[in-house]
Amino acid sequence: MADGTVRPPQKGLIGRVAGAVTDRALDVVDPDIVLDHVDVNSLLDKVDVQRLLERIDLDAVLQQVDMNALLSRVDMNTLLARVDMNSLLARVDVNQMLEDVDLEAVVRRSGIPEVVAESTSHLAGSTIDIARRQVAGLDFWVNRAVDTVLRREAGSFPVAPPTLAEAAASAEGGDRREVTGHYAGPVGRTLAFAVDAAIVTLVYTGASATLDWLTRILFDQTVVGRLPGWLSAVFLVVWLFVYFFGSLAVAGRTVGQGLVGLRVVARDGTTLRPWPALVRTVSMPVSFAFLGLGLVGVVVGREHRALHDVTGRAVVVVDFGDRPAELPGPLSRFLDRQGE
């Protein structure tokens, strides 16, 4: 109609004739050519679209539609603004939807496990660093007391090996003082050795007990208890050598030194090579001989070197690994106030 109203459906003879003519016309005429000459928007203004959709098989239509091309032409913001999301979500079976989702794969792709692992590692590292800073602070005061007794002026001798001097530079005022590469003092070294001694003893004792248990189970007799004392001592010495030399040769530090935040390097600050590490390990017992006279240099020496450090041409420095080695905040602020 000219006024835009929709003409009611034809009925009776006229309707049947119109339907036959339409069907015949569609058989002869290419609908695509007709659409090229018809203003589709104007046509839709005159058609009851809702009634049209009721008569169309939407599933068949959607199978022929390129959904990507369709979505690229749709203003999603406008579409979502017209959708009642509450009503839509109420019709969604969430349980059924989750059954079809590989949640484990989703979690892996989201990176959540990596975030949790990194956060846990950072928290553990920060907790250990707090203890390490306290040890470094105690070493500072012990060294300060020794220097005072020996009448040494502060700053009159290097605090780090040559190649580590730049890394050992203090932080700017207001920050924690960085001591990466500084010579390790007696407190840190003593604590590290105590941890190593505990590890060596526990592992040796545990291995002996396990071996003894296995021999009793398998052969109904004990082996470890029947070993002569000198042979047990040999096994212990071999284990000590493997632990200390292997740790230095592979990682440049023992487990105890790693926990405290120390590292063994060559005297110039470079990586300790296997041969000096071997000499240092073999001569370590000599440092403990004669009431530990070989350890005096750790306390009073400018580089805090024990006898086995001297023979192995090595020094022990402060090193927290991938994080900066720092003094506690209060001590750092004290040094700032003193202008040191």
Residue spans of the domains in the chain: they are 1-66, 131-338
pTM beyond 0.95: the answer is no
Q: 3-state DSSP call for residue 38?
A: coil
Rounded Cα gap, residues 301 and 293, in angstroms: 13
Contacts of 217 (CB under 8 A, 6+ apart): none
Q: What is the pLDDT of residues 207-247, one digit of tens each?
A: 988 888 888 888 777 777 777 878 888 999 999 999 999 99
Residue 34, classified by CB atoms within 10 Å of its CB into exposed (0-12), middle (13-18) or buried (19+), is exposed
pLDDT at 104 over 70: no
Rounded Cα gap, residues 267 and 161, in angstroms: 6
3-state SS string for 213-240: HHHHHHHCCCCHHHCCHHHHHHHHHHHH
pLDDT at 121: 53
Q: What is the pLDDT of residues 167-193, one digit of tens each?
A: 555 444 447 888 999 999 999 999 999
pLDDT at 24: 64
Q: What is the pLDDT of residues 148-173, one digit of tens each?
A: 999 888 777 889 998 887 755 544 44
pLDDT at 107: 62
pLDDT at 67 over 90: no
pLDDT at 40 over 50: yes
**Structure-token pair, residue 225:** 């208890």
